[in-house]
Amino acid sequence: MSGTERVPKYERLRRRLTDHIDRLPADSPLPTERELTTRYGVSRATVRQALDALEAAGLVYRVQGAGTFVAEQTVSKTLSLTSFSEDMRRKGLVPDSRVLVADETPADEHSGGRLRLSPGTPLIRLVRVRLADSAPMCLETTYLVAERVPGLLDLELTGSIYQVLAERYGVNLVRADQAVRSVAAGEEQAALLGLAPRAPALRMERVAYDERGSAVESTVSLYRADRYEIRFTIHREAT
Amino acid sequence: MSGTERVPKYERLRRRLTDHIDRLPADSPLPTERELTTRYGVSRATVRQALDALEAAGLVYRVQGAGTFVAEQTVSKTLSLTSFSEDMRRKGLVPDSRVLVADETPADEHSGGRLRLSPGTPLIRLVRVRLADSAPMCLETTYLVAERVPGLLDLELTGSIYQVLAERYGVNLVRADQAVRSVAAGEEQAALLGLAPRAPALRMERVAYDERGSAVESTVSLYRADRYEIRFTIHREAT
DNA sequence: GAGTGGTCTAGACCACCAC
DNA sequence: TGGTGGTCTAGACCACTCA
């Protein structure tokens, strides 16, 4: 890693504007696109590319014929694809894991079906109790396509798997389909999570894909309802 | 409504390409940007604007130096801001409502806090049992800023409120912050939903905003866990 | 009517991939 | 090395808002 990082102009402009916006009250007008053009010495297309990103992030809103304005602050951000570790750190908690199972197993209809694999395809299976600040937060069963992550079981598995996938295997998970349900924890599950039997839990099912749309990871997470909630921002579709 | 609708070129191109893509297998290469330029008689910037939308929707992926390709089909779409009625119709169910409460009430810390209003501000309150195919699906308490929807209580409230807001009041909800939890239904709630007491339920809290980022609606929904789950696609953030 | 954001063009150079 | 997508420019016209 050398110190040179290629950062496009529109990205640099976006960051400068983000810092600027954070210090402005809601509904403050931003400079006009043409003024930003001269102020930062870039073309209007570049300015618009930066503003497009800010608008998509919900930081500003634009009114044709009037201008661009600071939006009221959103409580949360768009829900993004993160690993458990990243998620917890973002919340200010210290993540950890207790590995219950780590082995290789052929795909059956359950695990392979979600990954759209034929039965028998080798999968890495991880069953972990995920801890936050040393207390159980969630019970997680993960399947990974073994072919994509050779030797994974020989590694430390306490940190962020997504980071390992990216750095060691060049596998970048960019998209995931999720399904969220409310369930009553089973006896065994409740015991592992430190809950009373039949206590409510949040069940999250996820299939994550790489850039090309190939399924790589399938995870079922069971979160303690008293410790976890999902927060996110959604938008109205145009179509 | 006259028949003339202004549709930008990039939008027309996006639709044409969407239709085209639907008939291609995954990983098929699309024509190059420069070829689309000549084929459709538009500039490359316009082509890229159309492709940007397709990429954001997860229909294609781009590899620098190689080309643009059809992505594998995603099961579900990005979670978008919809009303209960729209949500149910999309699932092929018939929505209906049983209104329990419909009145005007001053904001207190609970209701006003989420909407970021000062206590005392008039609010419209709706408590409804929402039905899908004539069976209880969810128990919903909605607060609307009364000033934005004068006379709402005189209207039929069985249909889509979002449609009423847009068509009658020009209020377009474009963004919402949501929080999802798993809870055990209380006795009264369980009775209204046709559940056993302490049965698991999905609790969804939502605050919806208009284009300018002003909070307009605050809703708490309690869904029957055995009938409802949330499905959505999420993406990895660049930053 | 002056000024704003929305759309569109024609052209250029760069980084990257595959042959 | 040739072609691809990624970035950027300078300029134009349109639709819309607001005084």
Measured between alpha carbons, how far is A111 from A217 in angstroms, rounded to an integer?
A: 10
Query: What pLDDT is stored for residue A67 in this prediction?
Result: 92
Q: Which residue has the tokens 């993960």?
A: A142
Measured between alpha carbons, how far is B169 from B57 in angstroms, rounded to an integer?
A: 30
DSSP string, A43-111: -HHHHHHHHHHHHHTTSEEEETTTEEEEPPPPSSPPPB---HHHHHHHTT--EEEEEEEEEEEE--HHH
Judge if B3-70 and B75-230 fold alike in CATH terms: no
Contact of B229 with chain A, judged by CB distance below 8 Å, is answered with yes
pLDDT along chain B (239 residues), means of 10: 65 92 87 93 94 87 90 63 81 88 87 73 91 93 89 78 80 84 94 94 90 83 92 69
Where does the pLDDT of residue A4 fall: very low under 50, low under 70, confident under 90, or very high at 90 and above?
Answer: very low
Query: What pLDDT is stored for residue B107 in this prediction?
Result: 87
- Give the residue with greater pLDDT, B26 vs A133: A133
The CATH homologous superfamily of the domain defined by A75-230: Chorismate lyase-like (3.40.1410.10)
pLDDT tens by residue, A8-51:
999 999 999 999 988 888 888 999 999 999 999 999 999 999 99
Query: What pLDDT is stored for residue B235 in this prediction?
Result: 73
Measuring CA to CA, how many Å separate B183 from each of A184, B179, B232? 9, 13, 21
Q: Quick check: A1 pLDDT over 50?
A: no
Where does the pLDDT of residue A151 fall: very low under 50, low under 70, confident under 90, or very high at 90 and above?
Answer: confident
CATH 1.10.10.10 fits A3-70, yes or no: yes
Tokens representing residue B186 in the block: 């209380």
Q: Are A117 and A106 in contact (CB under 8 A)?
A: no
The structural domains of chain B, with segments of one domain joined by +, span 3-70, 75-230
Beta bridge partners of B80: A235
> Residue B25 CA to nucleotide D2 C1', Å?
27
Q: Are B208 and B175 in contact (CB under 8 A)?
A: yes
Query: What pLDDT is stored for residue B73 in this prediction?
Result: 67
Out of A179-188, A198-207, A228-237, B28-37, which region has the weakest mean confidence (pLDDT)?
A228-237
Rounded mean pLDDT of chain B? 85
Query: What pLDDT is stored for residue A74 in this prediction?
Result: 58
Query: What pLDDT is stored for residue B162 in this prediction?
Result: 81
pLDDT tens by residue, A208-217:
888 777 788 9
Instruction: Determine, for residues B237 and A209 on separate chains, whether the beta-carbon distance falls below 8 Å.
Output: no
Rounded mean pLDDT of chain A? 85
Query: What pLDDT is stored for residue B44 in this prediction?
Result: 94
Instruction: Determine, for residues B172 and A58 on separate chains, whether the beta-carbon distance falls below 8 Å.
Output: no
Instruction: Determine, for residues B223 and A177 on separate chains, whether the beta-carbon distance falls below 8 Å.
Output: no
Residues A100-121: what's their mean pLDDT? 81
Residues A179-201: what's their mean pLDDT? 93
Strand D contact with A9 (CB < 7 A):
yes
- Give the residue with greater pLDDT, B5 vs A110: A110
> Residue A74 CA to nucleotide D11 C1', Å?
37
Strand D contact with B58 (CB < 7 A):
no
Per cent of chain A over pLDDT 90 is 44
From the list B90, B78, B98, B83, the residue with the least C-alpha distance to B165 is B83
Determine the number of helices (DSSP H) and then strands (DSSP E) in chain A. 7, 9
Rg (CA), chain A: 22
Query: What pLDDT is stored for residue B48 in this prediction?
Result: 94
Strand D contact with B218 (CB < 7 A):
no
Contact of B40 with chain A, judged by CB distance below 8 Å, is answered with no
Where does the pLDDT of residue A175 fall: very low under 50, low under 70, confident under 90, or very high at 90 and above?
Answer: confident
Residues 14..33 of A with a Cβ closer than 8 Å to B: which? 26-27
Q: Quick check: A189 pLDDT over 50?
A: yes
